[in-house]
Amino acid sequence: MTHSLVVEDGEGRGLRVPLIVRPIEGTHYRDAVSPYGFPGAELSGLSGVPVDGIDWRGTELVSIFLRDRIGGPYCFSGGHLRSEVCLIDPKRPVKFRSDHGADIRRNSRRGYLSSVVPARDSTREQREALKSIYRQTMARNQAGGRYYFTDDWFAEVFTSPLAWLVTTLAPDGTVASAALVVLSDGLLHNFLGGTVDAHLVHSPAKNEFPLMVELAAKLDACVHLGGGVRPGDGIERFKRGFANATSHFYTHDLICDPVAYAQLSQGHAGEGFFPAYRAPRS
C-alpha cells in the first residue's frame, strides 16, 4: 500500500480505502489499484456511497480499481459483481463432498498430519516451507509476476496477530502442503498456499480444511475459500465441494479523469478490462 483514498461527508462520517498508486508507463499520469485480496474499506459511519456524487479530480488520478470486502458493507454503490465465492460456516452443518471426505480419511491413514499455529509462533522451517511451496505452486500454474510476493512481504505478514499457518506433513516428515489463513471482516480467508509437486496425487491440502473450520469456529468467523477464475470452472467446483454457504465479491471501476482515460484507452482492446488502457493493444 502506498496511499489511502479518504471520503468524508462533512458530518464526521467517512471511509478509507488502501491504494497502490502507480505510474502509467510512457505518460505523466498515474492510476491506482487496491491491494491484492479483499481489502474493502475502513468504514467510519459511511458506506454505499454513490460514485457519481464525488468529485474525483482531487485524487489527481486517471482511474481507480477497487476490490471490495466480501459480503459488505460495501464502500461504494453500483459495484460490479465479479464472482460468487464459497464459504464454510461453522454454525451450519459442515459436510464435505464425498470424494473430498474420502481423500482426507485416506491421507490420514497414509500418515499425513496437519497442524495449525499462529503465524507469529511458527518456526523458521514452517515459514520457509510455506514460501517455497507457494512459489512452486505459482510456477506450476504459470501465475503472473504480481503473485510472487517478496521475502519482506512474507516477513511482515508473519508478524500479524491475525494470521495462521496451516501445515501438512507427509509420512516421511517433510512438508507436503501449507496455507496462510488470515482473519479480516469476520472471515477467515484461505489467503494463499499450495502443494509440493511430488504430493499432488494425494491432495494433502484437503486435510487442512477441517482445521480451518475448527479455527474459524473459535474465532466466530466463516472460512472464505474464494471462487474460480471463471464461473463454474474446476477451481470453483473444487471449492464448492467444501462449502456450505456462498457470498459475493464486488469491484468498482472508478474513472477519475474521463478525458485522460479516453485518450489513453485509444487503440486498446479494452472490452471487459479495467482500466482499458492497460489492456493489450488491438
129 with 255, same domain: the answer is: no
94 with 166, same domain: the answer is: yes
Q: CB neighbours of 253 closer than 8 A, spacing ≥ 6?
A: 63, 65, 80, 274, 275
Q: What is the predicted pLDDT for the residue at 270?
A: 63
How many structural domains comprise the chain? 2
In this prediction the pTM is 0.87
Beta pairing class for 113-118 and 163-169: antiparallel
Q: What is the predicted pLDDT for the residue at 112?
A: 98
115 with 201, same domain: the answer is: yes
CATH label of the domain that carries residue 120: 3.40.630.30
45 with 97, same domain: the answer is: no
Residue numbers in the chain where pLDDT is lower than 70:
270, 282
228 with 111, same domain: the answer is: yes
Name the strand (E) or helix (H) holding 114. Answer: strand 113-118
52 with 104, same domain: the answer is: no
112 with 159, same domain: the answer is: yes
147 with 227, same domain: the answer is: yes
Q: What is the predicted pLDDT for the residue at 218?
A: 98
174 with 217, same domain: the answer is: yes
Please choose, from the candidates 182, 169, 271, the residue with its C-alpha nearest in 3D space to the C-alpha of residue 223. Answer: 182
Q: What is the predicted pLDDT for the residue at 147?
A: 85
What is the C-alpha separation between 161 and 118, in angstroms, rounded?
7
Structural domain boundaries enclosing 258: 3-82+249-278
Cis peptide before 73 (omega within 30 of 0): yes
187 with 96, same domain: the answer is: yes
237 with 253, same domain: the answer is: no
134 with 235, same domain: the answer is: yes
Q: How far apart are the first and last CA of the chain?
A: 31
Q: What is the predicted pLDDT for the residue at 282?
A: 60
Grid cell at residue 212: 480451518
